[in-house]
């Protein structure tokens, strides 16, 4: 443990905070340190403090695509708040702090008569998390509207464009320990009734096709070229398949529902069982979309090949 009374210690630092409530699936153990930052300067300060002490940093947005290890995290978990959750409309651009809610940004854009972001209405993440993941839905994604992002590291901040971020299918070049602290979306003027119609359509689609009111982290696997992970998992008999308190949703096979008491080991074992069933049924090897916070290695792709356990 480090001396947190050192003068350079960031003011908002909590020890041993549970990370489960900071994720939508509500699974996982505590972080050695939980830090908050509400300005670019505060973000750089936390990153510099951690680097000086050799502590790795994991950025947590809304935790809507994140599975935290049962053992928690032997580093610093950093969240953005205050001014870095603000949203403002500037002409046809929407500026968001990296911790701003994406659905709230969608609402603000719609209210200002701006179109281009409606697909994000039901993606429960932050603007920064949406950049890191290149979030998308309904055949659109963030790469189509991103003008620039402010990325902070321990060395300071820089403004980068979409090309530098190398946005691909649910991926970007944002490196571990780098923080997307602000984002600007370039939208266009639209007709209010058309915008409202699109929002209704997209929200209605979610309500009818995905589990509601349960703990999930969204899609478990990315869609392989030309097919859908949900279809493949359903075809392989995964709907309702369970390990411990975690099960593949009976509503949509590419969602895992976690009842209270779920362990991240169960979720990983279930994911591996689903992936292996699809392979046994002659399908492709699915790739996890969800990120995993490993106690020592930080945020990595879900390590399915390291998991023991049987699905029941
Ligand atoms: C019900 C439900 C539906 C969903 N539907 C969709 C969908 O349709 N399309 C889709 O793409 N996703 C979907 N998701 C997944 C998820 O909402 C997105 O991936 C979202 O972009 C993640 O944002 P977050 O802030 O929650 O990131 P987190 O889950 O907190 O983190 C995910 C990754 O992003 C990194 N990260 C987060 N914030 C920052 C930051 N400010 N700077 C740098 N790195 C950061 C984290 O370190 C981590 O590697 C869904 C999730 C749920 C629960």
> How far, in Å, are 108, 251, 307 from residue 236 at the CA level?
41, 15, 20
Q: Which residue has the higher pLDDT, 84 or 8?
A: 84
pTM above 0.85, yes or no: yes
Reading the block at residue 217, the tokens are 């982290």
Q: Which pLDDT score, from 0 to 100, does residue 6 have?
A: 46
Domain membership flag for residue 265: yes
Domain total of the chain: 3
Contacts of 44 (CB under 8 A, 6+ apart): 152, 153, 154, 155, 156, 157
Contacts of 111 (CB under 8 A, 6+ apart): none
Give the structural domain span for 105: 83-193
Domain membership flag for residue 209: no
pLDDT tens, 122-148? 999 999 999 999 999 999 999 999 999
Please check whether residues 143 and 184 belong to one and the same domain: yes
Catalytic residues: 170, 219, 289
Domain membership flag for residue 188: yes
> Sorting pLDDT into bands at 50, 70 and 90, what band is 178?
very high
- CATH assignment of the domain containing 284: 3.90.78.10
> Sorting pLDDT into bands at 50, 70 and 90, what band is 7?
very low
C-alpha R_g of the chain: 20
> Which ligand 1 atom sits nearest the alpha carbon of residue 289?
19
Reading the block at residue 307, the tokens are 């998991």
Is the minimum distance from the CB of 96 to ligand 1 under 6 angstroms?
A: no
65 pLDDT more than 80: yes
Q: Find the 8 Cα to ligand 1 centroid distance in Å.
A: 31
Please name the helix (run of DSSP H) or strand (run of DSSP E) that holds residue 183, with its range, or none: strand 179-186
For tokens 């075809």, the residue is 235
């Amino acid at each position: 443990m480090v001396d947190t009374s050192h003068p350079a210690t960031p003011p908002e630092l909590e020890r041993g905070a549970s990370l489960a409530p900071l994720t939508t699936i509500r699974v996982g153990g505590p972080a050695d340190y939980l830090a908050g930052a509400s300005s670019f300067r505060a973000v750089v300060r936390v990153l510099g403090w951690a680097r000086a002490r050799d502590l790795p940093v994991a950025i947590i947005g809304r935790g809507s695509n994140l599975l935290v290890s049962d053992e928690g995290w032997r580093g610093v978990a950093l969240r953005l708040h205050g001014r870095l959750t603000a949203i403002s409309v500037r002409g046809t651009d929407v500026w968001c702090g990296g911790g701003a809610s994406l659905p709230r940004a969608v609402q603000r854009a719609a209210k200002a008569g701006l179109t281009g972001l409606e697909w994000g209405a039901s993606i429960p993440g932050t603007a920064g998390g949406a950049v890191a993941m290149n979030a998308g839905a309904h055949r659109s994604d963030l790469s189509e509207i991103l003008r620039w992002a402010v990325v902070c590291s321990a060395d300071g901040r820089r403004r980068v464009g979409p090309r530098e971020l190398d946005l691909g299918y649910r991926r970007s070049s944002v490196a571990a320990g780098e923080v997307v602290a602000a984002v600007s979306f370039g939208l266009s003027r639209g007709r209010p009734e058309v915008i409202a119609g699109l929002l209704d359509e997209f929200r209605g689609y979610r309500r009818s096709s995905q589990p509601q009111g349960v703990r999930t982290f969204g899609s478990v696997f990315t869609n392989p070229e030309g097919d859908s992970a949900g279809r493949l998992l359903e075809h392989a008999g995964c709907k309702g398949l369970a390990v411990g308190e975690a099960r593949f949703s009976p509503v949509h096979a590419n969602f895992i529902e976690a009842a209270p008491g779920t362990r991240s080991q169960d979720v990983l074992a279930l994911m591996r069982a689903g992936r292996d069933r699809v392979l046994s049924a002659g399908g492709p090897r699915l790739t996890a979309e969800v990120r995993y916070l490993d106690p020592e290695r930080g945020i990595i792709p879900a390590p399915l090949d390291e998991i023991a356990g049987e699905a029941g």
